[in-house]
Amino acid sequence: MDKNTLSAENRRKNILSAVLGIICIIYVLPVVAVVINSFKVNTYVKTNTFDIPTGEMWAGFANFIKGMTFGNYPFWKSAMYSTLITILSTALILLFTSMAAWYIARVNSKFCKAVYYLCVFSMVVPFQMVMFTLSKTADKLHLNTPWTIPIVYLGFGAGLAIFMFVGFVKSIPIEIEEAAAIDGCGPLRTYFSVVFPMLRPTMISVGILEIMWVWNDYLLPVLVLDINEYRTIPIHIQYLKGSYGTVDLGATMALILMSIIPVIIFYLACQKYIIKGVAAGAVKG
Amino acid sequence: MAEVSLRHIKKIYPNTEKQKKKGDVHRVSHLKVTAEGVVAVDDFNLEIADREFIVLVGPSGCGKSTTLRMVAGLEDISGGELLIDGKLVNDVAPKDRDIAMVFQSYALYPHMTVRENMAFPLKLKKVPQAEIDKKVNEAAEILGITEYLDRKPKALSGGQRQRVAIGRAIVREPKVLLMDEPLSNLDAKLRNQMRAEIIKLRQRINTTFIYVTHDQTEAMTLGDRIVIMRDGEVQQIGTPQEVFDHPANLFVSGFIGVPQMNYFDAKLLKADGKYTVELDGKTIELSAEKQARLAANDVEPQDITLGIRPEHIALFGEGSEMFHGTVDVSEMMGSSVHLHLQSLGKDVIVIVPTMDLQGIHHDGIKAGQEIAFTFGGNVVHIFGKDEKNLEF
């Protein structure tokens, strides 16, 4: 009787493992396709998409060199703008949303509650709903350069960041801030000397999530930025077209690989903080 | 080093809109509720002398921590005046009051080492680094935490953390040192040890202490004067001996002293200008001091609640003045035995030394045994029906 139950249990587990394994493969397949095709000669990318590049299919690093030198917009410029926008946006989001979250968590007023729920609500509004009006507004307010677009990112990133920070701040005993007030800190000093360092786990997880989002984002920069002057890496990849609209898929794959490698390394290095930060916010929030 | 004056201090927490709408503003424990809100502290008056050690004591929710937080500046004062060294500080920010505070939860900065924690208030005051180092090292030596100076708080035990918190408070040499139940998070043994250290610390540093606790042992051992509070109101202010010997009312008499005082329904009689108490048909003669106090208050004969502390009841002897009871439970405490008796329709507690001065052992008293006890008229407490001590 017991043996039967055990074997039935094992069978169920095996089936589940198989199903989940297949789902994992489906998820990973596009990434694998990008990796193998980035080393494949362009003509074989369409015909032998999932073949390992060997012999005459093997292109070596030719695709990478071609991708970076293609067209009249230098790749290093795109990489620079992507890096600039990502760093500036993430820094802005971390600084301002953590401050706002501290205020919201500590000042128990109707205004704070309203702001908090507005932020949470903003997470469920799809970007596509607001993108056209946004691109016009951004133009009018001159938020259409790599130095000013981080302000738009701040707006879109605030919802999730405030949600996570508020949850974490609530878990910090208020006595620590009271002790700081007695020790001689004003609100700003309390924030920078006491609260900010304590927020580090959530800072890291929010930072990682925001970096991945901003770095990979295509739609917002394409709508807001002047494409001829400023291109981020995703836009650069989109413009890898030859004359008559022919696309060099090998070079495209190579650039996609180059653009996702930093994010993947970053994610793998910091994933334990993401889980920690999300859990801290979720439990105490 | 400062005098602190609390004059008619009041703290009112406004009723929330929800409560106002519902009209159910009367559901907050026993606190007084007015149209303005819940009165957490009502008409608190206290003059604290320079270098005095004042202990605020009372059950949870009595307003003791709220009072302390008002002195610290962490709570707004709804009414009255708070003066430190003669200066009105009602609206002065906590950092400008020259006070320091030790919290129950230690409230150490987790990202700083012990040294940085202790140096933090001095750094904010822009004290030169050499002086900071000197003061931190001195404080660490007083508190025995020198070897932990480079550790983070999470690597310390509860007792060590509390020492660091005290260290952070004393390096500033504040005018007033506030302590909000600093020992409550520690285990019993460590609490006794830290209590002794606070007494030693007090002798070494010249500052005024205000200490909040719910533990009457801490209050009795530490305080020069004790303030006993209940439901936001001061019940009695006095030295530990005063509040123990002359509790102002039933609440104070029950709160101070472990085990609690025994109470009996009795009658206060007066014949030929002399007061006596009648309990269970027996007459208890009162001491001359009590006679004088009752006479001075011109107390009328009346039904009273007679209070007698467990340690003031004696077991020996037989005679007309003895009361009788049956032992319910006998608790052996080592140096003494706590006997729970059923007598005069009440549960009466008697503390008997395990061996008295005559060399008689009392540790053999078992449950179910019939015993006789008595007490003198000099140690009884007489409370009127309004729960106030009639001697006051």
Q: Is A180 on the interface with B (CB under 8 A)?
A: yes
Query: What is the rounded radius of gyration, in angstroms, for the C-alpha atoms of chain A?
Result: 24
Angle B82-B70-A188 from CA coordinates, rounded to 5°: 115
Q: What is the mean pLDDT of residues B167-189?
A: 91
The alpha carbon of residue B106 is apart from the nearest alpha carbon of chain A, in Å, by: 8
Say yes or no: domain B4-98+174-253 is CATH 3.40.50.300. Answer: yes
Co-location of A135 and A192 in the same domain: yes
Strands of B173-261 (E only): list them. 176-180, 208-213, 225-230, 233-238
Any idea which of B28-32, B87-91, B307-311 has the lowest mean pLDDT?
A: B28-32
- CATH code for the part of the protein at B314-374: 2.40.50.140
Domain count, chain A: 2
Q: Is B16 on the interface with A (CB under 8 A)?
A: no
Q: Point out the domain boundary residue: A42, A64, A86.
A: A64
What type of residue sits at position A213? W
Q: How far, CA to CA in Å, does A234 sit from each of A227, A267, A273, B115, B193? A: 12, 19, 27, 49, 66
- Minimum Cα–Cα distance from B173: chain A residue: A183
Residues A94 and A211 grouped into a single domain = yes
B252-296 confidence digits (pLDDT tens) = 999 998 899 999 999 999 988 889 999 988 888 899 988 999 999
Does the distance separating the beta carbons of A178 and B95 come in below 8 Å? no
8 A C-beta contact, residue B143 and residue B162: no
Q: Between chain A and chain B, how many beta carbons pairs sit less than 8 Å apart?
A: 58
In this structure, the answer to whether residues A50 and A77 fall within a common structural domain is no
Look at residue B1 in the predicted model and tell me its pLDDT: 65
CA distance A284 to chain B (A): 19
pLDDT value for A282 = 40
ipTM value for the complex: 0.84
Whether residues A131 and A26 fall in one domain: no
Residues of chain B contacting residue A193, judged by C-beta atoms under 8 Å apart: 120
Alpha carbon dihedral A29, A30, A31, A36, in 10-degree steps, equals 90
Other Cβ atoms within 10 Å of A249 Cβ, number: 19
Question: What contacts A266, CB < 8 A, 6 or more positions away?
Answer: A208, A211, A212
* Claim to verify: residue A120 and residue A232 sit in the same structural domain: yes
Question: Any CB–CB contact under 8 A between B175 and chain A?
Answer: no
CA dist B65 and B68 (Å) reads 5
Confidence of residue B317 (pLDDT cuts 50, 70, 90): low
Asked if B110 and A200 come within 8 Å (Cβ–Cβ), the reply is: no
Asked if the bond preceding A150 is cis, omega within 30° of 0, the reply is: no
Can you give the residue ranges of every domain in chain B? 4-98+174-253, 260-307+376-392, 314-374
The CATH number given to whatever domain includes residue A150 is: 1.10.3720.10
Q: Is B321 exposed, middle or buried (0-12, 13-18, 19+ CB in 10 A)?
A: middle
Q: What is the pLDDT of residue A51?
A: 85
A window 56-95, beta carbon within 8 A of B: none
CB B324 within 8 Å of CB B372: yes
Q: Are A255 and A233 in contact (CB under 8 A)?
A: yes
Would you say the CATH fold of B314-374 matches that of B260-307+376-392?
A: yes
Q: Indicate whether A97 and A144 sit together in one domain.
A: yes
- A152 and A223 in a common domain: yes
B136-165 mean pLDDT: 91
Distance CA B154, CA B161 (A): 8
pLDDT at B28 over 60: no
The whole-angstrom distance between A193's CA and the closest CA on chain B is 9
A54 and A77: one domain?
no
Q: Which of B100, B108, B111 sits opposite A182 (nearest CB)?
A: B100
**3-state SS assignment for residue B324:** strand
**Distance from C-alpha of B213 to C-alpha of B219, rounded to nearest angstrom:** 7
CATH of B260-307+376-392, one of 2.60.120, 2.40.50, 3.30.70, 2.40.30: 2.40.50
B14-23: average pLDDT: 65
Q: What is the pLDDT of residue B20?
A: 59
Annotate A113-125 with b (16+ C-beta within 10 A) or e (fewer): eebbeebeebeee
- Note the helical H segments in A39-74: 42-47, 62-69
The percent of residues in chain B predicted with pLDDT above 90, rounded, is 59
Contacts of B99 in chain A (CB under 8 A): 182
Rounded Cα–Cα distance for residues A68 and B157 (Å): 58
In angstroms, the separation between the Cα of residue A195 and the nearest Cα of chain B is 9
Which of B101, B103, B111 is opposite residue A197, by nearest beta carbon? B111
Residues A81 and A12 in one domain: no
Flag whether residue A173 sits within 8 Å of chain B, measured between CB atoms: yes
Compute the residue count for chain B: 392
Task: List the domain range (segments joined by +) for residue A264.
Answer: 72-284
Interval B295-300 mean pLDDT: 90
Residues A104 and A7 in one domain: no
Q: Mean pLDDT lowest for which of A197-201, B52-56, B235-239, B356-360?
A: B356-360
Closest partner residue to A173 (CB to CB) among B93, B105, B121 is: B105
Residues of chain A with pLDDT under 50: 281-285
- The answer, for A183 touching chain B at a CB cutoff of 8 Å, is yes
Same domain (yes/no): A76, A33:
no
In angstroms, the separation between the Cα of residue B144 and the nearest Cα of chain A is 22
Whether B93 has its CB under 8 Å from any CB of chain A: the answer is yes
Q: Which residues of A touch B121 (CB under 8 A)?
A: 183-184
State whether A33 and A120 are in the same domain. no
pTM, 2 dp: 0.81
Cα–Cα distance list, B244 to B130, B219, B254, B352 (Å): 48, 11, 10, 19
